[in-house]
Structure formats: structure tokens, C-alpha cells
Amino acid sequence: MEQNGAAESAERSGRVSRSGYLDDIIGNQQCSSNHSHRHPSSRDTSGGMATARSRILDLMRVSCRIFNTTFNPTGERTGNKILRTRLKGPSLVQYYPKEYLTIKQFKRGFPDLAISDEKEEYRVQQVEDHKLRGKGKPKKFKLGRQRTAGTKKKKAKRK
């Protein structure tokens, strides 16, 4: 009765025994109802004796080797599910084409063709309009040319 109560409390709390699925294979798992008998489907048909746990573990170990899976008899979380998934890097790299050919590059490649880039023309027109209104970018300050002949660079006084 004590084992039955512990199993029920583990079920209620959401915890599963560490070797729950091994117990299912062996046939030691009890029914979910309150009685403690074994169901006919869980009985061993080879004469009434249950298979030894070590034999079941050996069988699982061999099948894991054959099918190239990890042997985890305790059912602990190992992260193998994540490690088995394909890497996303290569597919993300191949999502976009290698290189887009812009109109500017196309014009450089074929200078004989009369191709107009509407976006570039619009941008240049906007820059000219801004300059006419005095909103364009300022001229670059060059030290040698902007200074008049009579002025010298002021030195900071030391105290």
C-alpha cells in the first residue's frame, strides 16, 4: 500500500519515476486504479517469471548501438534532442542570393547603354533643392586655405 500511495503522489505532482519506462517493459508498473494486481497484458508468457532487469538493460544497450541512439536507462535530460537537429547556419546563408547587381554597377559595366536610375536622379534633385534653400551640407574646412594670411593659430596659455 505504501508503494501504491507513493506512486500516486508522484503521478499527482507530475513527477515520473526515473525508470518508469523500464518498469513498463518489465511489467512492474501497477495499474492507475487503487488495486494492486497486474494486468494480463503485462504478464510474461514464458512461464510466469519476469525478465531480469539486467537482461532488459543489456537488450536496450545493444539496440541503442544498432540503431545509433543514446543509451539513457534513467531517463535523465541530456539535450540530445537539440544536438541532433540540423544546424541553421547553412540554410540561413543560402536564403538570400549571393549578390544583387545594382543599376549603378550595371551602368559601369555597360557605359554605352543609356540607362537612367530614377532613384539616383531623384536623390540628386533633392540635394540640389536643399542647397538652393541653404539646407545642404556645409563645405569641408581645410586648415591651409580657410585661414587668412595675417592670422596665426592661437596657442593655449600655460599657467
pLDDT digits (tens, 9 = 90+) for 106-154: 888 898 888 888 999 999 999 999 999 999 888 888 876 655 555 566 6
Any residues with CB less than 8 A from the CB of 71 and at least 6 apart, and which?
Answer: 60, 61, 64, 65
Q: How far apart are CA 52 and CA 24, in angstroms?
A: 13
Quote the pLDDT of residue 138: 86
pLDDT digits (tens, 9 = 90+) for 30-74: 454 455 555 555 455 555 567 899 999 999 999 999 998 889 999
Q: How far apart are CA 8 and CA 109, in angstroms?
A: 78
pTM > 0.75: yes or no: no
Quote the pLDDT of residue 131: 93
